[in-house]
Amino acid sequence: MSKDKIFSVALVGCGAVSKLYYGPALQELERHKLLQVKALFDPDFEKLSVIQKNFPNAVSIKELDELSPEKIDIAIIASPPQFHSQQTIQLLKSGLSVLCEKPMSTTVTEAHAMLQAASNANGLLAIGLFRRFLPATQTIQKILSLNLLGDIQSFSFSEGGNFKWPVQSPAYFKKENARGGVLLDVGVHLLDLMVWWFGNPTEVVYEDDAMGGIEVNCRLQCKFGQRFTGEVRLSRDCVLQNRYLVTGDKGWLTWNVNDAPNQIQLGFKDSAFSLDAQVHDVDPRKPFIPGEQSYNFEQSFTLQICNLVAAIEGKESLMVPGEEAIKSLKIIESCYQHRTLMPMPWLNELELKTAYQLNAQL
């Protein structure tokens, strides 16, 4: 990042993701005098005031119309997903560059409108799929691109546990607000990595337990041409392995997604050799320096902001432009359009009949 210009930032949305991730990342970058948060927007004054305590020089605004390129360089959209498209398009048309939190939008149609707005704008559009900045995911991408595991035979990705995200409104679980459940939330990260590593699947079979609402559990069976298949499992109420396993004809690799953002395990067939590799060795007690690789989820939020600034300056390409983020969203929308009901053997005959009726209404 340039040390000659201090970029001005507006944070749009002051909920949990800003409190836990974007706020600390922006504070870190302010400390290095690489940017300054100058505006905050959230219709909930209580949420806004909590964030504003960390940015005393930032003004609260009541309308996004108050943001202009004369005052602000970058807008970070951290509002609920149903507002992503409208707010992003408005700010791109105003001349700002935008980092939009995932999911890019709640529909593919909205996402295409965002891409069109970005193509006509002076600013850039980046999407907050921060896992691409983790050392583990970047190492896996390189291993697969170099064909070190040989021909891929299968993969199994799972993420699940008791839901702990600090939501502040029941709207988070209502279909008309959230537009989707675990697949649109956590799944957009997982599917983004899947497409980044393997390309687009040729066939997806999807099942969930939505039954008229939003899904808590889901399963995808993904086929990639005649080459291989893989399974994806997601849950908000069931403890899963939280592990990514990729198997090739020469070897295998695993990544424990929540425990080891900078570690993978790698093994080779017909060999006793296996490696528990720390792919990036950073002492978390030392101050983080922008430009270094991240060693945890939090620092990846810092890096994605750095990446957008560097792209504005012409020094880097965007790691996750809108054209990349829409790929996983297309898979999710197709899943919702072709969903089937998950097997639930604990339901009695009447309950199961009702479940199928509710599922048919989606």
The model's pLDDT over 286-334, given as tens digits with 9 standing for 90+, comes to 555 555 666 677 889 999 999 999 999 999 999 999 999 999 999 999 9
Residues 148 and 197 grouped into a single domain: yes
Residues 112 and 211 grouped into a single domain: no
Residues 303 and 283 grouped into a single domain: no
Task: Compute the Cα dihedral for 31, 32, 33, 36 and give only its sign.
Answer: negative
**CA-based Rg of the chain, rounded to a whole angstrom?**
21
Element (H, E) at 139: helix 135-145
Cα separation, 5 vs 7, whole angstroms: 6
Residues 191 and 335 grouped into a single domain: yes
Residue 85 lies in a domain: yes
Residues 100 and 15 grouped into a single domain: yes
* pLDDT, tens only, 115-127: 999 999 999 999 9
Residues 145 and 111 grouped into a single domain: no
* pLDDT, tens only, 227-270: 899 999 999 999 999 999 999 999 999 999 987 788 899 988 87
Element (H, E) at 234: strand 228-235
Residues 52 and 188 grouped into a single domain: no
3-state secondary structure (DSSP) of residue 221: strand
- Does pLDDT of 281 surpass 90? no
Residues 138 and 244 grouped into a single domain: yes
b/e code 255-293 from CB counts within 10 Å (16+ = b): bebeebbbbbbbbbeeeeeeeeeebbebeeeeebebeeb
Q: Give the pLDDT score at 2.
A: 47
Residues 271 and 153 grouped into a single domain: yes
> Residue 156 in contact with residue 245, Cβ under 8 Å?
yes
pTM (global) more than 0.85:
yes
- Does pLDDT of 3 surpass 80? no
In this structure, the strands spanning 125-128 and 59-60 are: unpaired
Question: Which candidate, 225, 236, 226, 221, places its Cα nearest to that of 339?
Answer: 221
36: left (phi over 0), alpha (psi -120 to 50) or beta: beta
Q: Domain of 104?
A: 7-131+297-319
Residues 141 and 223 grouped into a single domain: yes
The pair of structure tokens assigned to 225 is: 């041409």
| CATH number, domain containing residue 229 | 3.30.360.10
How many CB atoms are located within 10 Å of the residue 51 CB? Answer: 23
Residue 351 lies in a domain: no
- Complete DSSP assignment for 104-135: S-SSHHHHHHHHHHHHTSSS-EEEE-GGGGSH
Number of structural domains found in the chain: 2
> Residue 232 in contact with residue 190, Cβ under 8 Å?
yes
- What's the rounded mean pLDDT across residues 76-104? 97
- Does pLDDT of 140 surpass 60? yes
| CATH number, domain containing residue 69 | 3.40.50.720
* pLDDT, tens only, 165-208: 887 777 777 787 778 999 999 999 999 999 999 999 999 999 99
Q: Which amino acid is at 37?
A: V
- What's the rounded mean pLDDT across residues 355-359? 76
Bridge-partner residues for 255, per DSSP? 244
